[in-house]
Amino acid sequence: MDFRFTEEQLMIQDVARRIAQEKIAPTAEHHDATGEFPLENIRTLGENGLMGIEVPAEYGGAGMDPISYVLAMVEVAKADAAHSTIMSVNNSLFCNGILKFGTEAQKQKYVRAIAEGREIGAFALTEPQSGSDATAMRCKAVRQDDGSYVINGKKSWITSGPVAKYIVLFAMEDAAKGARGITAFLVDTTQPGFGRGKTEPKLGIRASATCEIEFHDYHVAAEDVLGAQGEGFKIAMGVLDAGRIGIASQAIGIATAAYEATLDYIKDRKAFGAPIGTFQMTQAKIADMKCKLDAALLLTLRAAWTKGDTEKNGGRFSTEAAVAKLTASEAAMWITHQAVQIHGGMGYSKEMPLERYFRDAKITEIYEGTSEIQRLVIARNESGLR
């Protein structure tokens, strides 16, 4: 196996690292404290191809591969997880599904503006009563005689919802058909019938704006149906596979930041007349952190490679994506926990970013499918049992 990255992959990693360190890291504390959406930084990411890394150049993207996406996401997440959340939604959840299932007109209208960072995209699947069980959605789509639809209902926990121009929406057309009754739509939030609720006050990723959205007799033209009628659940699950690679990358970035900060701290901090890094208990924690971090990275790169391969040859990468997301998110939570513990009181203080890494890490075990759902996906795919 060849673990070397290509020149192009290293180039986009370098671009992401430069922007992350020069633009994002200096503002991370401010955005976390205020919850202010980092629009200027997101525009900079878009101008440099990072909001549409796998989007072909003809639709405004960088035209790179899934490995490049992982490398860039890790760099941005190291600087600030909230920025990487916005980046992940635009890349994985918004652009990915339209590129795979959309028409040429839909790609030109919806993907280009998002990939170039001129507009923000969102993905609307979750509802107040349906999170992991997406088929329990109540947001209703009623087909009209001309092929258009009228949408009524509510969606919750919509990342970038307060600022999104375009949204990939999933609504129930025929509840009797269950998963096969769900259809996907492309929504322009400037049109009548669309409304936003309050921005959610979150534990972490606070600059990544999240809210409820509502539809009151919202009209969707026939040309804005994404994919075929009743294909929405299939689209959503495929998009979430790609999204899980993004969240695994985010988790690695958060964990790496905490790990590197800890390595510096254990060399400088002294107790009982010696650097705490010389203590066996500290060394054991460092060794375990390193093992978990490397395992998460390699599994995520495997998932990204598999995604690129299967998209060329057909097939799914859901198991690899779930393994990567589960491993990386739980590693991030464990590593940030240990980092705070090693830093002691300073780890608990807002004077250092450790407590932010700890708060940000938790969400990686929840969105794009909880750790419990990842275990179900893995086990069912391995056993063939449902």
Task: Please report the domains of the chain, with CATH numbers, ordered by start residue.
Answer: 7-119 (1.10.540.10), 122-230 (2.40.110.10), 233-383 (1.20.140.10)
CB 215 within 8 A of CB 185: no
What 236-240 contacts at long range (C-beta under 8 Å, 24+ apart), as own/partner pairs, is 236/97, 236/125, 236/134, 236/170, 236/182, 236/184, 237/318, 238/97, 238/100, 238/316, 239/92, 239/93, 239/96, 239/97, 239/123, 239/168, 240/93, 240/368, 240/369
Residue 315 binned pLDDT confidence (cut-offs 50, 70, 90): confident
3-state DSSP of 240-251: HHHHHHHHHHHH
| pLDDT for the residue numbered 129 | 87
**Catalytic, out of 127, 214, 330, 368:** 368
Q: Which element (helix H / strand E) includes 121?
A: strand 121-124
What's the rounded mean pLDDT across residues 114-137?
Answer: 91
3-state secondary structure of 198: strand
- Between strands 166-172 and 121-124, the pairing is parallel
| pLDDT for the residue numbered 1 | 58
Which residues lie across from 154 on neighbouring strands?
A: 214
Q: Is the pLDDT of residue 194 over 90?
A: yes
CB 184 within 8 A of CB 341: no
What DSSP line would sit under 266-321, residue for residue? Answer: HHH-EETTEEGGGSHHHHHHHHHHHHHHHHHHHHHHHHHHHHHHHHHH----HHHH
- Known catalytic membership, residue 368: yes
Total-model pTM: 0.96
Rg from Cα positions in the chain: 21
- What pLDDT digit, counting tens, does each position of 6-43 carry? 999 999 999 999 999 999 999 999 999 999 999 999 99
What's the rounded mean pLDDT across residues 237-257?
Answer: 97
- What pLDDT digit, counting tens, does each position of 89-125 carry? 999 999 999 999 999 999 999 999 999 999 999 999 9
Residue 386 binned pLDDT confidence (cut-offs 50, 70, 90): confident
What's the rounded mean pLDDT across residues 119-140?
Answer: 91
What gap in Å lies between CA 296 and CA 87, rounded to an integer? 20
Enumerate residues 6+ apart whose C-beta is below 8 A from 69: 53, 54, 91, 92, 245, 246, 249, 304
- What pLDDT digit, counting tens, does each position of 343-366 carry? 999 999 999 999 999 999 999 999
